[in-house]
Structure 1
């Protein structure tokens, strides 16, 4: 991506930027009762935590899966707060060797909560050590090399592991089975995002109209992180070019400036759709060809743009390639050619018949 496109893409990216962590931390709810959305997960998690407290025991290990920006880190912090326990934070990519994990586990206090983000990216030797630690509260440290090497068992204090992953399918079954509570974080409804936005606006000391909250929520891709980021951009616009009040007209003007349309599509999303519709007559077209047509790497299109386009119903993935749906033609205001109404379902059925 060009620098300009990268900067604009960050506005609707679900991944957290380096300078956003402090802001996000201030806006995060501190208790389960203050957490908006994910009603089923909140109720189940509340039972897990409160029953453990009644037994004066450590709760089962917890695995949270779901896309970035949906609140997995917030849930880990809430778990520690609800238990009144210390929180230790690390990530899968930071655990490169089993010794790294042993150093963390051996220094845990009793009842401490260990948050392991992107747990699916942990090194395999560390992964195997984690199996034993979760089940037997023990780590085996190998001392020496070659035939004289010996494994020294080290007992660790009872702890609660909160694992988070955006790719649950990459977790090996032995690791996944050791979690006593597994939950999936869904995307948020617009009314839930409105509640989050009003709470954030209050904490940021800005005046947010109800209609403006609805406008921002509708463009936030069902993700609280994006909603809060768009809120801050609208706030900036209101302070510089308005009277500081976040009205619906101010929100629309600000989001138009940042090229986020009514459905939450940004410039890269629309370029992908435009190429698919105008250059390839709605598809099917291969990922590499589509990426070249918009001047991007295939991985960028597949990982950055495509998930939201597929989830929103604008693009379908078929054995023959990417296909535009009727919703894509309508949203982009392009009239489909007569031979473009082939449809993703028809492509799949034909491929099955040919097979």
Structure 2
């Protein structure tokens, strides 16, 4: 794989053995030398006018605070209200935590760069950002799939719901989601860390996007691109197909008994989840399945804002406004706080 640097190595088995024994160390040293020219990356940020930077900074700050407070409120309500200790809200609480984490990977750094007008991010910080962005993004996808399966069992097999969606199964689905997500993120990050960056260090993005980093690398990225394709099938395509299959069965079950009551029950049960799925996968499909041309990277940045900041912010509103259980729990807590005896 690596060329022999000295012709004498061809004539000595000892030299050949020593070469292959030391090649990982040599590769590591070569990588360090190559990366020594790039200690940091420059994030160009959002395609906005300089004079409007203050307005956008305030807007994104409010959006981020809304994301954090709204999702933390969901977690608090589910924990305090015993009526919400069901599989659906168990998955929802994990989804809320993941949304807070997912948004926190990129938004604080973006806001800090906008405030300080600094575009730099360290090499280690960039690699870490890639890992956690992939981690929480993957967990989001798997959790949405688990929630779709929960809705499928609730509508298509209501009599066996409590047996099928047992506590052990719920914990297993969440655990598998985290394990697969960690494996996916770690594989991409380790392969990224092996690459050399010797030339341009400017990223036309507001965070360290994996595909953008690969374009800057001076190394061969064939393996990285192959792993991205494989990971995309595992993390995006298969979960999305499972969600479509689940809701296909739900639709068939509802149409089998076309009553107004059944349709309303299905919409109230699945409406919130369908809205979140549409936002999440719609943005990702628009970015990666139908990518823009190389001259329209601004659109990619805008789409990235949609699924990394806007979607996590809207989730609490979707589940609060469309979900009777959440509205009831919030009303109970507010009424207790207002009418509690002194």
Q: TM-score range by the shorter chain?
A: under 0.3
Structure-1-length-normalised TM-score = 0.22
Higher helix proportion: 2
Higher RCO (CA-CA < 8 Å; seq separation 6+):
2
Structure with greater proportional strand content: 1
Task: Using structure 2 for the length normalisation, give the TM-score.
Answer: 0.23
